[in-house]
Amino acid sequence: MKVIWAPWRIRYIEAPKPKGCFICEAAKSDDDRRNYVVYRGKNGFILMNLFPYNPGHLMVATYRHVGNLEELSKDELHELMELTVLSVKLLKKAFKPHGFNIGINLGSVAGAGIEDHIHIHIVPRWLGDTNFMPILADVKVVPQALEETYSKLVNAVKDLLKG
């Protein structure tokens, strides 16, 4: 049997789970690197998923703590989609994926880990990025560290905003 090490996961497993909303904490903080905030807009922002399905797994969220789509203003809805498009552009520039899964999970039964703060998942996909590990071992291997992914994305933001 091959052993695949993912030592960073133990911090999540053993850590006390936060009582507040980590999206709100990231929105309020001015330490974007620590919170993996990639880009800030007027009504929302782009941040990395700390437990990604694939390298570059991003989330787009509003600054306002809202759990239902129908509670969002037209400006918030519009900017969420603009930030989703920007996320796709950033990921294409930084990682050249072959495709994307983009979605919103509304409610815990739909898979929402955070029910009370709307966010859109943008997951880059590559041909062959799934293998036997999730099927046989219920394990997903993410081949890039968060810090390295963050640096590539921030550089892609700078490049896109120049042009």
What residues are labeled active site? 119
Amino acid letter, residue 93: K
| Nearest partner of 47 among 55, 35, 30, 62, judged by Cα | 35
Q: What is the DSSP pairing of strand 58-62 with strand 99-103?
A: unpaired
Sequence-ordered list of residues with C-beta below 8 angstroms from that of 36, at least 6 positions apart, any chain: 26, 47, 48, 50, 146, 150
